[in-house]
Amino acid sequence: MTTLIPDPRVKDVKVTATMLTVELLDGRVLSVPVQWYPRLARGSLKQRNQWELCAAGGGIHWPDLDEDLSTEGLLAGRPSPEFRRKLSKAKPVAKKTEKLKATA
């Protein structure tokens, strides 16, 4: 019986206008919204497609966008600090819902 040892190194990367998809050597495929990484979201299609491996395959670097992502962060579901700051400044949706319930 063969045991597959997870290998979280990057095999391939695809970035569209809406999604970042990373294929790992062990067969896993991770897809997250490109909006989680504002530098990628603002980049052109050409810039998004010019990525390179870093950290022995444990990370991805976009030289034209000055963006670096680790597979560890992707596997943990961590968006960029810039995106998290943007979310923390957004108005909570619950207040709007509470107001609707109060008028019903």
In a domain, residue 37? The reply is: yes
The answer to whether 93 touches 101, Cβ cutoff 8 Å, is no
Can you give the length of the chain in residues? 104
* Domain CATH number, residue 58: 3.30.2020.40
In a domain, residue 3? The reply is: no
In a domain, residue 78? The reply is: yes
Residue 90 pLDDT? 76
In a domain, residue 2? The reply is: no
In a domain, residue 22? The reply is: yes
In a domain, residue 5? The reply is: no
Residue 103 pLDDT? 56
Domain count, the chain: 1
Residue with tokens 């022995």: 56
Residue 89 pLDDT? 85
In a domain, residue 39? The reply is: yes
Per run of 10 residues, the mean pLDDT along the chain (length 104 residues) is 80 96 96 96 96 96 97 95 87 58 57
In a domain, residue 1? The reply is: no
Residue 34 pLDDT? 97
Displacement of CA 84 from its chain's centroid (Å)? 12
Could you tell me the residue range of the domain that residue 29 belongs to?
10-103
